[in-house]
Amino acid sequence: MASHRKSRPTGTRVAGIRTPALATAALTSVALLSQSANAAPEADEKPSLEEVEKKVGDLYRQAESATDKYNAAKEKTAKQRKRVDTLLDDVAQRTQKLNEAREELGSFAAAQYRTGASAPDTATFLLADTPQDYFDQTQLMDRMTGRQKVAVDDYVTQQSETMKKRQEATESLTTLTESQGDLKTAKATVQRKLADARQLLSQLTAEEKARLAAIEKQKQQEAARKAAELAREQAAQQQAQDQAPQQQESGSPAPGSGTSSTAPADSSYATKAEKALAFARAQIGKPYVWGAVGPGSYDCSGLTQAAWKAAGVTLPRTTYDQVTAGTTVPLSQAQPGDLVFFYDDVTHVGMYIGNGMMIHAPKPGTYVREESIYYDGESAIHSVVRPA
């Protein structure tokens, strides 16, 4: 019996496609699409070296900003904890006085009960053993009534003040808890930013690391050139100032000094600055550690704070507070000891030592060192502040 099935065509059959040419084209398209899908993410996930450098720099600056928030929260937490302890001690003392006032009122109440002072005068007279006893009790209670009034007033005052201090202590404890939360958040942010930066750097090849080092070297050379340029400018200004008195005596103006506005630091500032700089130089080589204030390690504002403290000048803890703790001066008039602040959000600070150079604690993984104030470009410089 003949079969009614159609004979199968020769050739390859893939996914219902009977035509060999169409099947081959489909396979080729799928393969190309697959390769494109796999290749695109790889291109996107591999940033350029310049992008990596910028991203790492941004992460370090963000970590410094978070470090300042951490430092502020830590300082606030310490102050708040001290205030809470003081308030709790005060509440305990006031509670003791309140208990003593309560006991005194209790003794008055007992005395009234024993002498019958709470009874009507007629009943007290009739119940007294003798008329003289009545008059003695009345005279005693008159004196006691005055003392009792003082005791009651004292009790009411102590009770009111104790309740007020308890409320203050409760509010301070709430603020302390919030400060501790801010401290924890800032710390986590710093750690996350630093971890991200380390992760990016760890993905670089040896060749990329070498190229990155070459880029950094070029930046350092440019920073040194700019520092030398500033040093020459400041030297010219100083020479003009030194010549000005002589020119005034002779009646002729010094060359180029017609509108000099340079305001040199006074001798007392120079003396303090010398002490601060001596301290800062002694810290060179110590590691940067975020949140550290010495003596074994520092962050940027911790170093400047400690240096000026050695000179007898108290600075705030954070960069954005230190930037307001003095007189702002033009960069061209910077003197040794002045504080140089960086970036729009004022997240870094160094101490000027002259000739366009500073001492600072740069970033995690580095050490306290001397470096050009142009280390991250001229645009990174925010302001110069004379703190004393």
Rounded CA separation 335/385 (Å): 10
- CA torsion angle for 139, 144, 146, 151 (degrees, to 10)? 180
Handedness of CA 234, 235, 236, 240 (dihedral sign): positive
Q: Which regions of 300-356 does DSSP assign to beta strands (E)? A: 327-329, 339-342, 348-354
Task: Report d(CA 264, CA 36) in Å as an integer.
Answer: 66
Eight-class DSSP state of 380: G
Contact 65, 192 (CB under 8 A): no
Whole-angstrom distance, CA of residue 370 vs CA of residue 281: 8
CA–CA dist 179, 72 (Å, integer): 9
Q: What SS3 state is found at 292?
A: coil
Contact partners, residue 262, CB within 8 Å, separation at least 6: 237, 238, 240, 241, 332, 333
Please, which residues have CB within 8 angstroms of residue 251's CB and are 6 or more apart in sequence? none
DSSP class of 340:
E
Which residues are catalytically annotated? 300, 348, 360
Q: Where are the beta strands (DSSP E) in 200-355?
A: 327-329, 339-342, 348-354
